[in-house]
Structure 1
């Protein structure tokens, strides 16, 4: 019975690590997205840092990426940046790859 308990515990540990990594990738992606959008809007370095944190926080509004896409698109449009939904989603995909790469390199 111990072998099955150990295997179950190992599987739980693996799933917990995978969930933590997914959370970290998403948070890093959102920070990178915030920095990207801040550059588009011409924000100062201090404003960029604050905006990137706000984008990370925006992701907690609802499940999925729609809350982040909505925030970025709305803020970019309000700032007079000529963009569209597809450009924001493209940046989201690119920053997800970059975030995963950065986290894998840091481990």
Structure 2
């Protein structure tokens, strides 16, 4: 039974590591997306940092990406930046790739 127990522990450990990495990638993606949106709104570096943190926090409102997309589109529209949801979704995808790249390089 020891071999079976060892395999089970190994799978549990791998699952935990994968979940942790997925969380970190999503948080990094949201921060990068916040920086992307802040640049379009013309925010200062201090405002950009605060806004990026607010975007990361917005992701905890509900499961999925809709809360983040809704925040970005709403904030850009309020700042008189013409943007559509498709553009924000594309930026979200682009930032996901960048976030993964950054985290893989950091290892």
Q: Is TM-score (shorter-chain normalized) higher than 0.5?
A: yes
- TM-superposed CA distance for 1:41, in Å, is 0.2
- TM-superposed CA distance for 1:42, in Å, is 0.3
Q: How does 1:69-88 map to 2 (within 5 A)?
A: 69-88=69-88
For 1:43, the equivalent position in structure 2 comes to 43
Unaligned runs of 5+ in 2: none
For 1:2, the equivalent position in structure 2 comes to 2
- What is the rounded CA distance, in whole Å, between the counterparts of 1:6 and 1:67 in structure 2? 40
- What is the rounded CA distance, in whole Å, between the counterparts of 2:80 and 2:2 in structure 1? 63
For 2:89, the equivalent position in structure 1 comes to 89
- TM-superposed CA distance for 1:36, in Å, is 0.3
- What is the rounded CA distance, in whole Å, between the counterparts of 1:37 and 1:14 in structure 2? 34
| TM-score of the two chains, using structure 2 as the length reference | 0.99
- TM-superposed CA distance for 1:45, in Å, is 0.2
- TM-superposed CA distance for 1:81, in Å, is 0.4
Unaligned runs of 5+ in 1: none
- TM-superposed CA distance for 1:52, in Å, is 0.1
- TM-superposed CA distance for 1:54, in Å, is 0.1
- What is the rounded CA distance, in whole Å, between the counterparts of 1:89 and 1:81 in structure 2? 16
Q: How does 1:21-36 map to 2 (within 5 A)?
A: 21-36=21-36
